[in-house]
């Protein structure tokens, strides 16, 4: 068994190794991105930080959220955007994808571990560093969320011992935990913020607005209000940033692109970082002098391109799927949905609106379900097809239930979740069950060939309902 003193030394040595890794990451980031990188977004987020405000970053899968957060770790970025106040700000990057499990304890342990790894940049030395390392040992030994919270709080009290000192915690891949971790974590984080006010700042980054990521918003209302005061969209790169990235990656692979090639790459990828990387990786393995335009028809058949598009698609709700299908077909969409697609970077701010990337537009075309087979629900238009037959008699509540089941098709939807999304409220004493049974029975009469032997809307005993295609279970 490792004694506490030995563990303290081990933690400090590990912290030194991780710290050196962080330094290498910062240097690589400096080589790749100039200070003008994502200037509009950086100015907005660093403005929040300078005034002690929390906020939320929203970006598509593969849009470069992690790279942007690492960009914010750079000392030259701090000096550029925070001016003479920059020595008072310390930054910690917490990658929630690295969690072993999604317990409150694990999140706090990760936060503390990242702080320990950055002792030098946080100004922690000597006895203070050893004391914090010993506290980390206590967290690992007890695995108690309350102990973890109190330990992080003790660390913050040591770190923020000067009135001017500020700590910024950058939560990367926040969507990885927001739906699974216990709501008590969010209440604890809010409590820590309230104890230190503007001196402790949270920036959370995910694929969607926090309110949309967490269905039981009432349980996390106070934290939600804290981070949702400021929201910044991290959309595709602008032309200058895209060209900078192309030049950097092409230089690594000793590949040269003409100005026309770069323009066409922008058209293909729409400035999406993940798509650009995938395309450039593919092109680097081809013969020199290849005409990129000839790849337009074949890129979506390439696994790397397809996978990148699939990542984006799978992170979107069904309502946005439906809107994108309308866009690729040249059909109009509702103004509020158009604004949402533009905010997330899925659609260009143009007249008419179009999908942001030629490659992703082709991908969406291939995702168009056939209204002649099985069940097809277009939530954007409210049209429902069963084996090619248009169902035109659904009531508002029936359509709401069917859309919810269709959005989560293949998965069990609990009675409570269906009721909350259809009726927008909770019911007690079995009232909700009775209402849902009646509604589902009416819906089955309209969509099932034989309502007594349902093929599409299956009952999952003691749980709820599941929408499936014929032959699925």
Mean pLDDT, range 87-96, rounded to an integer: 92
Kindly report the number of other CB atoms within 10 A of residue 247's CB atom. Answer: 14
User: What pLDDT does residue 122 have?
Assistant: 61
Per-residue pLDDT tens digits for 301-356: 678 888 899 899 988 888 898 899 889 888 888 899 999 999 999 999 888 889 99
β-sheet bridge partners, residue 158: none
- Reduce the DSSP state of residue 314 to 3 states and report it: helix
* Per-residue CA distances from 15 to 12, 123, 125, 233 (Å): 5, 13, 12, 33
What are the helix (H) ranges across 271-383?
Answer: 273-284, 303-314, 318-328, 335-344, 358-366
User: What pLDDT does residue 219 have?
Assistant: 64
User: What pLDDT does residue 322 have?
Assistant: 87
How many alpha carbons lie under 13 Å from residue 163 in its C-beta half-sphere? 0
User: What pLDDT does residue 68 have?
Assistant: 96
Could you identify the residue written with the tokens 């009775």?
A: 434
Please choose, from the candidates 241, 262, 232, the residue with its C-alpha nearest in 3D space to the C-alpha of residue 33.
Answer: 241
Could you identify the residue written with the tokens 């960009």?
A: 71
User: What pLDDT does residue 17 have?
Assistant: 38
The larger pLDDT score, comparing residue 468 to residue 214, is at: 468
Mean pLDDT, range 239-264, rounded to an integer: 81
Pick the CATH number of 4-233 from 3.40.50.300, 3.40.50.620, 3.20.20.100, 3.60.10.10: 3.40.50.300
User: What pLDDT does residue 212 have?
Assistant: 62
Output the pTM of the full model.
0.72
β-sheet bridge partners, residue 414: 464
Q: Which range among 44-53, 118-127, 232-241, 335-344 has the greatest average pLDDT?
A: 44-53
Q: How confident is the model at residue 47 (pLDDT cuts 50, 70, 90)?
A: very high
The larger pLDDT score, comparing residue 266 to residue 292, is at: 266
- Give helix 396-407 / helix 318-328 axis angle, nearest 10°: 90
User: What pLDDT does residue 3 have?
Assistant: 42
Mean pLDDT, range 151-159, rounded to an integer: 80
Per-residue pLDDT tens digits for 376-424: 887 666 778 887 777 767 888 898 899 889 888 888 999 888 888 888 7
* Per-residue CA distances from 292 to 254, 259, 261, 267, 373 (Å): 17, 12, 7, 11, 37
User: What pLDDT does residue 16 have?
Assistant: 45
* Per-residue CA distances from 285 to 202, 254, 288, 290, 306 (Å): 41, 11, 9, 11, 17
User: What pLDDT does residue 188 have?
Assistant: 87
User: What pLDDT does residue 88 have?
Assistant: 92
Query: Is residue 271 over pLDDT 60?
Result: yes
Report the distance separating Cα 454 and Cα 445, nearest Å.
Answer: 9
| Average pLDDT in the chain | 80
User: What pLDDT does residue 1 have?
Assistant: 35
Q: Are 120 and 86 in contact (CB under 8 A)?
A: no
C-alpha torsion sign, points 291, 297, 301, 305 = positive
Q: Are 91 and 46 in contact (CB under 8 A)?
A: no
User: What pLDDT does residue 283 have?
Assistant: 77
Query: Is residue 139 over pLDDT 90?
Result: no
Query: Is residue 129 over pLDDT 90?
Result: no
User: What pLDDT does residue 63 have?
Assistant: 92
Q: How confident is the model at residue 2 (pLDDT cuts 50, 70, 90)?
A: very low
Report the distance separating Cα 269 and Cα 343, nearest Å.
Answer: 17
The token pair at 472 is: 């699925």
Q: How confident is the model at residue 19 (pLDDT cuts 50, 70, 90)?
A: very low
- Reduce the DSSP state of residue 204 to 3 states and report it: strand
User: What pLDDT does residue 471 have?
Assistant: 59
Mean pLDDT, range 181-200, rounded to an integer: 88
Lowest mean pLDDT among 23-27, 128-132, 282-286, 362-366: 23-27
> Which phi and psi (to 5°) does residue 265 adopt?
-60, -40
Lowest mean pLDDT among 125-129, 204-208, 234-238, 412-416: 125-129
Mean pLDDT, range 117-142, rounded to an integer: 64
- DSSP strand pairing (231-233 vs 375-378): unpaired
* Per-residue CA distances from 206 to 57, 209, 214, 231, 411 (Å): 6, 7, 12, 11, 23
Query: Is residue 20 over pLDDT 50?
Result: no
Pick the CATH number of 375-467 from 1.10.10.10, 1.20.1250.20, 3.30.565.10, 2.60.40.420: 1.10.10.10
The larger pLDDT score, comparing residue 291 to residue 197, is at: 197
Report which DSSP code applies to 300.
G
Report the distance separating Cα 319 and Cα 346, nearest Å.
Answer: 13
Mean pLDDT, range 181-198, rounded to an integer: 87
Domain boundaries, the chain: 4-233, 236-368, 375-467
Mean pLDDT, range 239-257, rounded to an integer: 81
Lowest mean pLDDT among 5-14, 77-86, 228-237, 310-319: 5-14
Q: Which range among 4-18, 360-374, 413-427, 454-468 has the greatest average pLDDT?
A: 454-468
User: What pLDDT does residue 294 have?
Assistant: 63
């Amino acid at each position: 068994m490792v004694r506490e003193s030995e563990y303290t030394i081990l933690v400090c040595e590990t912290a030194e190794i991780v710290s050196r890794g962080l330094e290498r990451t910062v240097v690589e980031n400096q080589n790749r991105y100039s200070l003008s990188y994502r200037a509009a977004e950086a100015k907005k987020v660093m403005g929040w930080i300078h005034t002690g405000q929390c906020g939320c970053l929203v970006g598509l899968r593969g849009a470069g959220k992690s790279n942007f957060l690492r960009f914010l770790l750079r000392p030259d970025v701090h000096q550029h955007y925070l001016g003479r106040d920059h020595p008072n700000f310390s930054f910690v990057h917490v990658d929630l994808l690295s969690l072993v499990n999604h317990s409150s304890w694990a999140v706090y342990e990760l936060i503390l571990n990242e702080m320990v790894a950055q002792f030098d940049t946080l100004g922690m030395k000597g006895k203070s560093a050893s004391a914090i390392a010993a506290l980390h040992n206590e967290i690992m030994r007890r695995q108690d969320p309350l102990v973890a919270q109190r330990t992080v709080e003790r660390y913050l009290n040591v770190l923020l011992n000067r009135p001017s000192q500020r700590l910024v915690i950058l939560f990367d891949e926040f969507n990885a935990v927001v739906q699974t971790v216990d709501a008590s974590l969010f209440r604890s984080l809010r409590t820590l913020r309230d104890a230190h006010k503007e001196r402790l700042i949270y920036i959370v980054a995910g694929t969607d607005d926090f309110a949309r990521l967490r269905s039981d918003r009432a349980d996390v209302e106070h934290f939600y209000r804290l981070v949702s005061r400021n929201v910044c969209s991290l959309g595709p790169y602008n032309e200058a940033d895209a060209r900078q990235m192309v030049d950097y990656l092409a230089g690594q692979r000793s590949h040269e692109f003409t100005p026309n090639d770069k323009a066409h790459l922008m058209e293909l990828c729409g400035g999406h970082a993940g798509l650009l990387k995938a395309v450039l990786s593919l092109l680097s393995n081809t013969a020199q002098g290849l005409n990129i335009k000839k790849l337009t028809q074949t890129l979506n058949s390439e696994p790397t391109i397809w996978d990148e598009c699939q990542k984006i698609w799978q992170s979107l709700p069904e309502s946005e799927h439906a809107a994108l299908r309308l866009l690729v077909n040249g059909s109009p969409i509702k103004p509020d949905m158009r604004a949402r697609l533009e905010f997330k970077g899925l659609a260009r701010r143009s007249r008419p609106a179009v999908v942001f990337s030629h490659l992703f537009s082709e991908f969406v075309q291939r995702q168009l379900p056939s209204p002649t087979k099985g069940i097809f629900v277009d939530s954007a238009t409210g049209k429902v097809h069963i084996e090619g037959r248009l169902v035109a008699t659904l009531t508002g509540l029936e359509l709401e239930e069917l859309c919810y089941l269709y959005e989560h098709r293949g998965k069990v939807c609990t009675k409570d979740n269906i009721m909350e999304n259809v009726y927008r409220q909770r019911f007690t004493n079995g009232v909700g069950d009775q209402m849902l049974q009646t509604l589902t029975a009416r819906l089955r009469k309209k969509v099932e060939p034989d309502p007594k032997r349902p093929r599409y809307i299956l009952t999952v005993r003691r749980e709820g309902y599941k929408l499936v295609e014929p032959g699925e279970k």
